[in-house]
Amino acid sequence: MTDTWPHLAPAAGTPQCGPPSFEPERGWWVTRHADVRAALTDPTFQVPAVESGPPGTLAWLRASVSRFSPPRRHAERRAVATSALASLDPDDLRHDAARLTVSVLDRVGDRVDVMRELARPVPLWALADRLGFADPVAAGTAVAVVAAAYHPGVDPALTARADRAVAALLALAPQGPPVVRANQIGLLVQACDATAGLIGAAAQHLLPPTVAGAPATAGTADLLAEVLRLDPPVRATRRVTVDAVRLGGRDLPAGSPVLLRFDAANRDPRAFPEPATFQPGRSGAGLLTFGTGERGCPGDRHALALATGVLDVLRERCWRSPGPVRHEPHPTLRVPTSLEVGVR
């Protein structure tokens, strides 16, 4: 069969592409593909600094992982993360995720909430197991608690719960230097919401709407690339300028807070012809959802492998009824709260 794809409207809150814009209460927003890419690769735009805390706490974890590290520490900590990932074969992760998905579907009956039963736990179980955590299921539960409080500025009650979860993860992590164990935990936390959001969006957009519907014929990898472009689980990332800089025809002073909008940049018509049309296998400018430059996601292949393993099984065995999908409130992530599907 030939797949016919609709236009996908931007998610609520996705801005139009245009020159960098400033508002006093929110700082600078950067929406054009070329401008976002330039900011991601310009050392003038740095990740905002985070405060550290006592060893074994959430604040300690944030200050120890490459994600939030200052330039002088970033390369060393990123090397720890990439070394841990280098020992993992993405094909193994894909097979693990598919096997675990089959196991869940075999026990749930004729309906399942993709988010609760699959998109959130399965990638974490598979990744934690391959990283050597003693109890992958317990690790996955603790990671979800940490992920809910990972970005600075959350409710203190969530931070207290996350402190306990970090301690639990350290007890389950393989032995090694603190910075190595922190970055192994960081890999799980980074995979948590982003991979779940990708699987949820893919299930929402790609599963047939009836039990008799035929699955799409395009390959899962091409389908996921378009989902990442049109409905990215990571909508934006934050930077701050360390010096005055000119970007996209605008002069940004030193110390400016900057929000780089992946969701808008991935719909930039200068980078993607017919940007609202879902076109698996399309050529054109590179996706920005995983970032780029020295701070690009080190685990993009592994995240895609985990999502592919889950989605391959969903495409074979599941269907979903049309209807609105609600998403968790978050300024930079887009993750469905629930997504019920039927199981063949």
Q: Which residues of the chain have pLDDT under 50?
A: 1-2
Give pLDDT, residue 5. 67
Give pLDDT, residue 2. 47
- List helix spans (H) across 87-152: 90-108, 114, 121-131, 136-148
Q: What is the pLDDT of residues 44-72, one digit of tens each?
A: 999 999 999 999 999 999 999 999 999 99
Give pLDDT, residue 1. 38
Give pLDDT, residue 6. 63
Burial class (CB in 10 A: 0-12, 13-18, 19+), 7: exposed
CATH architecture of structural domain 27-274+285-343:
Orthogonal Bundle (1.10)
Token digits for 231? 């409905």
For tokens 């600078």, the residue is 28
Round to whole Å and give the CA distance between 77 and 26.
30
Give pLDDT, residue 90. 98
CA distance to 90, 115, 118, per residue, from 126 (Å): 11, 16, 11
